[in-house]
A = this chain, B = another copy of it.
Amino acid sequence: MNKKIYELAEIIDNDLINENLTEVEREQIADNMKQYLPSGAIVLAQANPLSGDIKYNAQKALKWIKWANRLKVNAIVFPELFLLGYPLGDIVDRFPIVVEENIEWLNALAKFTTDTKVIIGFVNFNNGKIGKRYYNSVAVLSNGKVERIINKTLLPNYAEFNDVRHFESADVDSASRVVYIGGKKAGIIVCEDGWNDFDFFEKNLYSVDPVEVVVNEQHPDFIINCSASITRAKKEQLKHNMLSFVAKKHKTPIVYVNQVGSGECLSFEGASRVYDENGVLTARAKSYEEQFFIVDAEDKDGVINPLPSGLEKTLDSQKAFSLDYEPDLERTYLTIIQSIRDYFKKTGFERAVLGLSGGLDSTVCAVLLADALGAENVCGISMPSRITSSESKNDARQLAENLGINFLEIPIKDIFDVTRGKFDELFAGVEKGWNCRYEKSYTNDNIQARARATILWGVANEFEKCLSIATSDKSEAYMGYATINGDMSGGFAPIADVTKTKLFALAAWMNENRIQKNTIPQSVIEKRPGAELAINPKTGKPLLAEEALMPYEFLDEVIWRVENLHQSIGDMVDVEFLYEKKESVSKSQKQEWLKKFFRRMAYAAYKWSILPPAPIVDARSINKAEFRYPIIASKVNFNKTSEDDKYCSLLNI
């Protein structure tokens, strides 16, 4: 395809965001572009919707549609459920008005359509007597009317997907799925409909493959897949391989349009694309940006925008646990940045306040927030206690200076002292009724963390559009190594799905790859993590996290094995961990760490349940949007017992 088109399309992208052109200018640009457009041109509307705000989505869609109309392309294709805005939560069931409204908005949109067909996701009523109330549907609009409605067949209902909660599965009525676009037959499928090839997957979730049915029965010239598919470690390689395989197998090009932007915990990376009938990638949109992306399903020579560096390698590099996070760091960075930006924008917030301890977690959070919201919208507060080292205080201040964020140092000694004093009286009083006081307790440590959260929430309450930030990371979330109403409290938790070893890598990566180099003081990356809430009596120094837990390199490999390989204690005892290649670990020590992991994990489930929204980054997570561990399941045995043991333990009943 003529590269001139892409240059001119950037003017459109800009106009769609800034509305900076007059109607006359728009027509001139369209006229100019039309000479380069191939006859099969269609637009992939890689756009960012707002969940539940149908008016916003419809108005946005129309801006895009009008540009497609001006260019007289054959069609413009929006992502799955665009009109209602994905993710939906359960609002369609509790508030059916939003479904009624989305159908009226669809009809209103249709009135503005021409020969240029509009393909757009929405929620449709199921008027049959049987089944769920709705379909997950795609409408084809043209010449002022709703020309066709296609209902989704395969409904994912695992991890972050909840399609079966709301939608009925439609039979694959292949004739209804074919629409003429520029004289060619296009077969339309919706997201998961395209993920059930019986040759590509070893196991299949569903008994029908809509792509195969449509291809075999209707022989379309190409397939269009309207999607809303989130980014995750390892997923791009799988997606690429699968789409390429299916296109080649059926000798049918696939045009894949994906949502962009973040919805609470789910991040969509865009990267919409075309595969030709040989399975060769012929065009790919940008990642993490809205784009009015012009393609031709039969063109061999589209623009292939680069993926975030190394993304395609992630599958290979993560078949085994690795401490080399390099291939995934740009994607991780962009995913979190987009998540912060969209969460704030979509909830109406602009500013963030966070505690700066001088440690790794808060440091990384501060950089991510500054990049997502602008340094002027971030306020970092250093809140030293008696235990805080001068190095930590200096690191916090230095970071804030480097970033150019607002900075304050507010010592918490006096709040700690008055609360501590109160506690002496309080606990003596409680002891009169309860003879069960701990000899050693974390109570004093926690006062510090809670005093800090009170300060941060105070700022968030006192200043407009300001959210406080929870700085917990994934390794510590697994261990429950975070204080309720303390460091795990906030309006958003940017790094809750990033393990500690990956955070170190991310910090180093940001120091090298951001425009401003070495923003993060080297001492932050070099020091060993610790909450600085308590003194280790053995060393006389602040207790290090690894002393309280286990080495992070070991811990993070356990997390990786649990999430990716679903391993139990027995599975892990006998495999060699990366950590064991460097440090000798006795078998009993290893077993002790593994048992500690599962014990602490089961008790951490309560903390997960009250953690604020956080972006999903990894291949699997403990994010509430994808995984729920019942808090009452505190006594699961993660260590296999033999059948004999079981028989014997019943014999005594």
Chain A interface (Cβ < 8 Å from any Cβ of B) = 50-56, 58-59, 62-63, 66, 85, 87-91, 93-98, 100-101, 104-105, 107-109, 111-112, 129-132, 157-158, 164-165, 203-207, 263-264, 342-343, 346-348, 351, 353, 376, 379, 381, 406, 408, 410, 412, 414-415, 418-419, 422-423, 425-427, 429-430, 432-434, 436-438, 441-443, 446-447, 450-451, 453-455, 457-459, 461-466, 484-485, 489, 491, 562-563, 566, 568, 570, 606, 609-613, 620, 624, 627-638, 640-641, 643, 646-647, 649-650, 653
Contacts and interface: CB of A to CB of B under 8 A. Distances in A.
B629 A91 contact: yes
B450 A89 contact: no
B458 A447 contact: yes
A633 B408 CA distance: 33
A598 to B, nearest CB: 9
A164 B165 CA distance: 9
B441 A422 contact: no
A408 B434 contact: no
B205 A58 contact: no
B379 A434 contact: yes
Given A612-B610, A632-B51, A637-B55, A426 B408 contact: yes
Q: Ordered nearest first, which 5 A-B pairs have the shortest CB separation?
A: A406-B433, A52-B633, A52-B636, A89-B630, A97-B568
Contacts of A63: 653
Contacts of A611: 610
A59 B450 CA distance: 42
Which of A207, A376, A461, A641 has the most B CB atoms < 10 Å from its CB? A461
19 contacts: A53-B637, A58-B650, A85-B633, A94-B620, A94-B627, A97-B568, A98-B636, A108-B647, A263-B632, A351-B436, A379-B433, A406-B434, A415-B422, A422-B455, A423-B455, A443-B458, A446-B458, A485-B489, A606-B612
B630 A104 contact: no
B609 A624 contact: yes
A130 to B, nearest CB: 5
A65 B395 CA distance: 65
A609 B612 CA distance: 7
Contact of A165 (B157, B450, B453, B641): B157
Nearest to A100: B640
A653 to B, nearest CB: 4
A64 to B, nearest CB: 10
Contacts of A131: 204-207
Given A58-B646, A640-B97, A410 B427 contact: no
Contacts of A433: 376, 379, 406
Given A406-B430, A646-B58, A205 B130 contact: yes
Given A96-B566, A97-B638, A406-B430, A53 B458 contact: no
Nearest to A468: B484
A145 B607 CA distance: 42
B91 A459 contact: no
Given A131-B205, A204-B130, A463 B434 contact: yes
A610 B472 CA distance: 15
Contacts of A650: 58-59, 62, 108-109, 111-112
Nearest to A598: B95
A63 B87 CA distance: 47
Contacts of A51: 630, 632-633
